[in-house]
Structure 1
Amino acid sequence: MAAAATAVTLVLASCSGGGGNDDGNGDGGGGGSDADATLHLSLSQDVETLLPMDSNVGDNISVLDVVYDGLVRYDPKTTEPYNYVAESIESDDNTVWTIKIKPDLKFQNGEAVDADAFARAWNYAAYGPNAMANNYFFERIAGYDDMQGETDDDGNVTTEPTADTLSGLKVVDPQTLEVTLTGPFAGFSTMLGYTGFFPIAQACLDDIDACAVQPIGNGPFQVEKWDQGVNLTAKRWDDYTLEETPKYGAIEWTEYTGEDNWPDFQAGNLDFATPPPAETAAAANDPDLQERYIEGPGAALTYLGFPLYKDGPWKDIEFRKAISMAIDRQGIIDALLPGQRIPADSWVVPDVVPGGTGGTCEWCTFDADAAKEALAKAGGWPDGEKMTIHLGQDETEQALFKAVGDSIQETLGIPYELDPTEDYFARRSARDFSGPFRANWFPDYPLNENYLAPVYASGDAKNGNTEFGYYSADFEAAVKAGDEAANLDDAVAKYQEAEKILAADFPTVPLFVAQNTTYYSENVSNVVLDPFSGEPKLRLLEVTNG
C-alpha cells in the first residue's frame, strides 16, 4: 500500500472548514454535523483484530483511522503527507531521523502519547515471535534482523532472536525519538502515517489480547463495544485535543459477508454502500440514487499471481503472456462494473503516487492471436486438466474472475474452475495454491516504491517472494538504488527503473484498477473518498438525523 507528493484529481464534494495542518491540508471535521448523530457503516470482511501493528487490510484500517492518530496523515486531495502527532520529522542524511512529537497528547486511558509510546509499539511489531502482520514495515530500522530469529520450512523456530528491541530506536527525551535506518531511505517520513506505525499505550501491551478487541487509541473516536462478526460501535472521545475531529457523536459498523449490505442500504439502515454487479445497472438508472453518488480515481490494483514456487506451465513467461493477452479487460468491465474499474497496464497505478505511469505492461492488451502464439511457444496447456483460479469469498470478485476465466477459456481453450475460500490469505502465505490466484494491492503511503518492494522484493534468491516465488537480483538492486537516492525525486526515478525490470520478467498480470465509487444516504454530506482505500474520509463527514 503507498502514498506520496503528487496531486491527485478527485471528484469531491466541497470541503467545509475544520482542522488540518497549518497549511490548510488534512481532513478536519466539518461544521454541519449533529453532535448526537450516529454514522452507520459496514465491514465487508472478517475483521479479526484492531491492533494497529497487526492490521493491514482495508476494514481494519478504516476503523483504526478514527481510533488512532499517527505521526503524519495524508492529504485526501494530493496524497501528500503532513505532520500530525509529529511536530517535525527531519534528517540530514536520510539514515538518522529525528522525530519531535507534539506535547501534552494523551491516550484514551490518560497515558502520555510520547516517544516511548511509539518505541514500544514499533518494538512489539518488529519482534518476530509476535507474528504481527505489519512486522516487515520495520525491516529498514537498525536491529530488525536480530529480532527475527530463524524458522524451518514448517515454521518451527530453529534459532531464537538475539534481541527484543530495535537498536535503531532511541528515546532521546519524552518528545524526541531518534530512528537509525540500516541505510538511507529518502521516503522514510512518507511511511509514517501508515497504520503499522501508530503508537500503543502500555496498558495495551500489558493485555494484548484485550487490546485487540478493545483498543486504547489516541484518536477522536473510542471503541465502545465490539461483538465480533456482528457489529462494532465507537463514540466520540470528548477529551480529544487535535484538530481533525468530526462533530457527529458515534459510529456503528455492521459486519456483512460480501455485498450483502446493499439491501440494508436501500432500506435506509446504512449510510454508504456499493451495489453488487447484478444491481449496478439499476442503481445507475435510479435518479434519486445518482444524486447521492460519488466517484474518483482509485489506487487499488487487482492482478493475477502465479505460484512460481511450484512446477507448472506458469513458470514459462510465454504462458504468462498468453494468459494476460487472452483477458478482455475492457469487455469484462463493460459487462459487469462499468465506471467502477479501468483496465490495468502497469504495476504502479498511474497519477496516484509519484512515479506512477501507464503503459509499462507490454502484454496487457487483449490480443487473441498473439495470446495463442504465446501459448504455443510455451508448449500449450496439459490435456484434460482444468486450471484452478484461487480467490477469496467476495461476490464482486467472484463475478470478475469468472469473467476472467471465461475470457481465457474462450481465447485459449483452457478449461478452468474457481476456488473461492474463506482462508484465502492464510493459504496464499502458506503457498497452498495449485494455479493462478487473485491478488490486490492498494498503497499504504504515497511512493511508487510501495507498489514494488513490499510485493515483489524478498532478498531470498532461493525461495523468492513468499506469495509468488519471484526473485530478481536486478530488480532488488534497482529498489536498493532508489532507497539510497539523495532525495525523493531521484528515488522515484530509480523505482521506475525497478518497475521496468518487473515488466520484463512479468511475474504477475495486472488486470484492473478500481475506481473509487459509492452511494451515500441522505443523512450524510461533505463526502470525500480516500484516494487509496476508496473509503469515505470519516473525519470530513457531516452527519445529521442519525
Structure 2
Amino acid sequence: MGRRAAVAATATAVALVLASCSGGGGGNDDEGDGGGGGGGSDPDATLNLALSQDVETLLPMDSNVGDNISVLDVVYDGLVRYDPETTEPYNYVAESVETEDNTVWTIKIKPDLTFQNGEPVDADAFARAWNYAAYGPNAMANNYFFERITGYEEMQGETDDDGNVTKEPEADTLSGLKVVDPQTLEVTLTGPFAGFGTMLGYTGFFPIAQECLDDIEACAVQPIGNGPFQVEKWDQGVGLTATRWEDYTLEETPEYGAIEWTEYTGEDNWPDFEAGNLDFAVPPPAEQQAAAGDPDLQERYVEGPGAALTYMAFPLYKDGPWKDVEFRKAISLAVDRQGIIDALLPSQRVPADSWVVPDVVPGGTGGTCEWCAFDPDAAKAALEKAGGWPDGEKLTIHLGQDATEQELFKAVGDSIQETLGIPYELDATPDYFARRGARDFSGPFRANWFPDYPLNENYLAPVYASGDAKNGNVEFGYYSADFEAAVKAGDEAATLDEAVAQYQEAEKILATDFPTIPLFVAQNTYYYSENVSNVVLDPFSGEPKLRLLEVTNG
C-alpha cells in the first residue's frame, strides 16, 4: 500500500499532526477483532501474558527486542506513538515536532506531565536519556539510534577487540541536543533526514527520570516510567507484575488493573494457555492443526499482516563458500519457502521476496528478490558456478534456542540438503546474540528484523550500513559504497516521499549484492482467552496492543 507517514518534511515548517487514536477505557470496540469478555474492562481485572525472550533489562535505551518493548510500551510514553492500522506517527508526549530544513528539529513537550515518582517529564528528561544512551562507554543497545545527532562521534571513544577502552570519549553530551526551555528541545542533526520525526516513538527515545540515572542498575529492574502502568515487582526469569498508575493523565490508558507476565523458555507457553492461565498464545507447529480445527478457539483468533522479516545471514567476515554471491543464490533458490510454511506454520508465515516487507511501511514493495523463488535446477546451476560445496563438510546453521524457529530452520536445512546435497547441522545456542555480536559463527545464521519506526529506511540502514569499508557491518561484514550512497541520498531528500524513493534504490543494490537471504515474513496471529476483547495487534512487533484491550477476568 505504500502508506505515507504523517511527517512530510518540506522547505517550510512541518509538524507531526495529532491523529485520533483510542481514548481511555481501552478504545473503541470497532477498532479490534476480538470478541470475548465484552462489556468494557474491569478495573480489578488482571491480564496474564507470556515473556519468551530472556529479558535482561527494562532500561528503554538498552531494550531492543520484542518482549522488552512490549513491557515498556505500557510503562513509558514516548514523544509520538504509532497508529495500529496505518503505522503513521501521531504526537503523544510531544505537542509538536517541527522542522524547516530536516536538520534542525524543534520538539515541544506537553506541560504538566510527570514520571511515576513525581519528577517532571520535560525537555531535560529526554535530553538526559538521549545523552546517556549516546555515550559509548555506557554500551546501551540503542546507542546507534543517536548517530544522526551532532556530537555523537565525540561521545564514542575507542575500544579494543576485548572491549577495553583505549581512548576516552571527547564529550559526554550531544552537542546537537539543546534544552531551550523546560518544554522545548532543539535537535540538530549532522545532516538532513526527513524521517527523523518518524523515529521518535521508538523505545530508545523514551525519557528517563533523574532518580533512574542516579541508580541505573536498580532502574533496569524497577523502572520509573511515565506510562499508564508501573512495575511493582520483577522476579527475573520467573515473572513480572505491573499495576495501573492511578495518576496517569494522558488519553491512552486501559481500565483494567494489572498485568502479570510469566517468563518461559522459548515459546513453551501453549499448555498454560489451554489451561486458562494465559490470555494470549500462539500454538507451536505440532499443535497448529488441532488449534485450527477447534471451533471454540477459532472464535478467539486474530490475525493481520506482519512486519517481521526472518532471513538467513552469512559470516561474510570469514572465508568460506558464502563469500561467493553465486553460492548465496544457490542456497536461496534451494529453500522451498511455501512448502515449509504449509507443513509447519500455515497462516503464521508467508514467503519473503524482498528486504523491506511490503505494505507495512512507506516504500515496502514485494518482488525485489530475484532469487527467492524455489528453483532446484537454478539452485544446482548456481552452486556449480560457485565451485560446489567442500566434500565431507557440514553446513552449520546457527540460531537461538526457540522451539518453533528450530523446527523452521531444520526444514530450511532439509530443503537445502535435499536440493543441493549439502549436509547440515543446526547449532541452537543459548548465547546466540552475544556470539553474533562477537562474530563467532562458522556458517550461515538465522536473523530477524521488524521495524522500529514506519519507514523503509529502517529495514535497510540499521541492518546493512556501517560506514566501515574495512570491516563492514558488525553482524555479518557487509559493505557497499553504492548502498551507503543510496541511503545517504535518501537521508538528504527534501521530502519524505523523495526519501522513500531513494531508499528503494538502496534496496535494489541489496538485491544485486545479495548479502542475505529473505526467507519468511511473520503474519501476526494470536489466540486469546474469553477474558479479553477489543484485540488489536501491533503491526510492527505483532504483539497485542495492550492499551486497547478490554479485560474482564470472567
TM-score normalised to the size of structure 1? Answer: 0.96
2:397 to 386, 389, 397: 389
Does structure 1 retain, via aligned residues, the 8 Å contact 2:3–2:359? no
Please identify, of 29-38 and 270-279, the stretch whose mean Cα deviation from structure 2 is larger: 29-38
What's the % identity of the aligned pairs? 88
Matched, 1:140 2:156: no
Counterpart of 1:444 in structure 2 is 452
CA distance in 1, matches of 2:462, 2:528: 34
Count of residues paired in the alignment: 531
After superposition, the Cα gap between the structure-2 partners of 1:197 and 1:6, relative to the gap in structure 1 and judged at 3 Å, is: closer
Alpha-carbon distance in 2 for matches of 1:97, 1:324 = 43
Cα deviation, residue 156, structure 1:
2.2
Deviation of 1:260 after TM superposition, in Å, equals 1.3
Matching of residues 249-264 of structure 1 within 5 Å: 249-264=257-272
- Partner SS state of residue 442, structure 2: coil
Cα distance between partner residues in 2 of 1:260 and 1:307: 30
Please report how far the alpha carbon of residue 25 of structure 1 lies from its aligned counterpart in structure 2 after TM superposition: 2.6
* Structure 1 residue 65, shift from structure 2 partner: 0.1
Q: Give the corresponding residue for 1:150.
A: 158
| CA distances 1:167-226 after superposition (whole Å, capped 9, x unpaired) | 000000000000000000000000000000000000000000000000000000000000
Q: Is the 8 A contact 2:18 2:90 kept in 1?
A: no
**Runs of 5+ unmatched residues, structure 2:** 7-16, 28-39
Work out which of the residue numbers 299, 302, 320 in structure 1 matches 2:307: 299
1:413 aligns with 2:412: no
Aligned to 1:111: 119
Measured after TM superposition, the shift of residue 22 of structure 1 is 5.5
> Aligned equivalents of 1:310 and 1:80: distance in 2?
40
Root-mean-square deviation over aligned CA pairs: 1.2
The reply on whether 1:280 has 2:283 as its aligned counterpart is no
Q: Superposition pairs for residues 364-383 of structure 1, below 5 Å?
A: 364-383=372-391
**Partner of residue 92, structure 1:** 100
Using the size of structure 2 for normalisation, the TM-score is 0.95
What residue number does 2:522 align with?
A: 514
Which residue of structure 2 aligns with residue 30 of structure 1?
26
Cα pair 2:5 2:198 within 8 Å, conserved: no
Q: Which amino acid aligns with 1:539?
A: R
Q: Find the aligned partners of 1:22 and 1:472 in 2 and give their Cα distance.
A: 38
| Mapping for residues 500-539 of structure 1, pairs under 5 Å | 500-539=508-547
2:337 pairs with 1:341: no
Per-residue CA distance 1:458-498 (angstroms, 9 max, x = gap): 00000001011000000000000000000100000000000
Task: Please give the per-residue CA displacement for 1:279-333, whole angstroms capped at 9, x wherever unaligned.
Answer: 0000000000000000000000000000000000000000000000000000000
Confirm whether residue 74 of structure 1 aligns to residue 82 of structure 2.
Answer: yes
Cα displacement string for residues 219-261 of structure 1 (whole angstroms, at most 9, x for unaligned residues): 0000000000000000000000000000000000000012211
Instruction: Give deviations 1:29-81, integer Å, cap 9, x for gaps.
Output: 42710000000000011000000000000000000000000000000010000
Q: Say whether 1:544 aligns with 2:549.
A: no
Q: How does 1:310-329 map to 2 (within 5 A)?
A: 310-329=318-337
Instruction: Verify the 8 A CA contact 1:307 1:469 in the aligned structure 2.
Output: yes
Q: Does the CA-based 8 Å contact 1:4-1:447 persist in structure 2?
A: no
Inter-partner Cα distance in structure 2 for 1:440 and 1:323: 18
Is the 8 Å Cα contact of residues 26 and 75 (structure 1) preserved in structure 2? no
CA shift at 1:26, angstroms? Answer: 4.8
Deviation at 1:4, TM superposition (A): 6.8
Cα deviations by residue, 1:117-142 (Å, 9 ceiling, x for unpaired): 00000000000000000000000000
Equivalent pair of 1:5/1:79 in contact (CA under 8 Å) = no
1:545 to partner: Cα distance? 1.9
Alpha-carbon distance in 2 for matches of 1:340, 1:270: 20
SS in 2 for 1:253: strand
| Unpaired runs of at least 5, structure 1 | 8-20
Equivalent position of 1:206 in the other structure = 214
Give the whole-Å Cα distance in 2 for the aligned partners of 1:298 and 1:255: 24
Give the structure 2 partner of residue 476 of structure 1: 484
Aligned equivalent of 1:196, options 204, 214, 223: 204
**Structure 1 equivalent of residue 431 of structure 2:** 423
3-state SS of paired residue (1:389): strand
Instruction: State the 4+ residue runs in structure 1 displaced beyond 6 angstroms.
Output: none
Distance 1:27 1:503 in 2: 43
Choose the corresponding residue for 1:63, options 54, 63, 71.
71
Partner amino acid, structure 1, of 2:544: P
Q: Are 1:353 and 2:361 an aligned pair?
A: yes
1:186 to 177, 194, 210: 194
